[in-house]
Amino acid sequence: MTNPVPRDIPTSSTLPIAVLSVLAAMGTLATNILLPSLPQIAISLNVTTAAVTSAITVFLAVFGLGQLLVGPLSDRYGRRWPVLIGFAVFFAGSVWCGLATDLPNLLIGRVVQATGACATSVLSRAIARDMFSGAALARAMALIMIVMSAAPGFSPLLGGALDHSLGWRAEFALVAAFAAVGAVAYAIVLGETHNSIRTPFNPVVVGRTYAGLIGDRRFVTPAAASSLTMGGLFSMFSSAPRLFIEALHFTPIQLGLFFAGTVFIVFAAGMLATRLAPRYGLDGPIRAGLSATAASSLAILLISLISPTFLPFLGAMSVYLLGMGVVSPLATARALSPFGEKAGAASALLGFLQMTIAATGVWLAATVSPEAMFALGVVMSSFSLLALGLYARGPGS
């Protein structure tokens, strides 16, 4: 059989895109729902808040590495079983985390969680590429991002409420239930979408495929741009408890409200991206978004040096989120569109780059300086300027 002819997005695709959003949101949900609870988890496990941050770094590292294996496996064996197994593994890891009584056991559970989440996340992009291409893929990715932005945006608010009323362990119970519902929805609504010729799973061939993608500017330039802007975002996520709760004396609920507010900015950016791509193509809006992230990152660095207060930071961060919200779906579509026959591998490598850079950003933001806003400004400025410089050379054709 051959792939279906790539098509625009009909109204009937609303439910499949919603399910793809659930798959894509698993990783960010599992990370962001914990953010308001990091200080409380540290107290419960008798460690420091900085030590508990390793639960985020470990998750992102495993999340990225696992995608390198899951992508090629899905090109060989299809999408259905890797996704369902991923949901089951994520469920088991969530239960383990919820029962942890010390940091080592929490980290073990996070490794298991990330192993499952990497399958659902990477394959959400591959499935979207199975169904769409070109401008339609860009629109699909933007719509997925709009829907899934509710997970990282509202989950800290929900996590703060759960932590306040039931304790931090309830957060892991919730994400386990989310995985169970997601698995059922996927099995009913989507199922198998990889109907083209299957690529043999051969480690040598897989290595050559990845090497070919890394050497292809059509992939690596937009993939790097997307990954670096995502790295800046995760750096902000991980720095938020230190910055808002410890430095600015926010409550966990107030921190959750801040994250909830980011949803509306990302929503607006995603809607903007769906309109810009058909009219201006992908490259122009991507460059504009990268310029916005670079300018706002430098502003955050400057604010940290002059007057590290909330409102100026909020303004600069809002501009960053707007730029990132345009860059992320359009650069993802730009990176995946030329590689339909290798969608699983391309999506896996993209996910690996995103999570590796995100893990690096989280680590740097925690170690560059004890001043949270200054460290965040350094990391975001470095990442965004590098992304802008790389894309200025051109993404190839």
Nearest to 300 by CA among 196, 203, 198, 385: 385
pLDDT at residue number 201? 65
Length of the chain measured in residues: 397
Paired tokens of 30: 């599992």
Please check whether residue 4 lies inside any domain of the structure: no
Nearest to 151 by CA among 122, 133, 126, 175: 175
When comparing pLDDT for 76 and 7, which is higher? 76
Rounded distance between C-alpha atoms, residue 26 and residue 180, angstroms: 11
pLDDT at residue number 3? 38
- Whole-model pTM: value is 0.72
Q: Is the pLDDT of residue 195 over 70?
A: no
- Residues 53-75, mean pLDDT to the nearest whole number: 81
Give the model's confidence band at 61: pLDDT under 50 very low, under 70 low, under 90 confident, else very high.
confident
Runs of H (alpha helix) within the chain = 14-32, 38-45, 49-52, 54-77, 80-99, 103-131, 134-148, 150-165, 169-189, 203-214, 217-240, 252-280, 283-306, 310-336, 343-367, 372-392
Q: Is the pLDDT of residue 303 over 50?
A: yes
Q: Is the pLDDT of residue 239 over 50?
A: yes
Please check whether residue 3 lies inside any domain of the structure: no
Runs of H (alpha helix) within 215-251 = 217-240
Give the model's confidence band at 11: pLDDT under 50 very low, under 70 low, under 90 confident, else very high.
very low
What CATH number has the domain bearing residue 172? 1.20.1250.20
Q: What is the average pLDDT score of the chain? A: 82
Q: Is the pLDDT of residue 4 over 60?
A: no
Please check whether residue 2 lies inside any domain of the structure: no
User: How many domains are contained in the chain?
Assistant: 1
Domain limits for position 278: 11-392
Q: Is the pLDDT of residue 7 over 60?
A: no
Alpha carbon 40 to its chain centroid, in Å, reads 25
Pair 352, 65: CB distance under 8 Å: yes
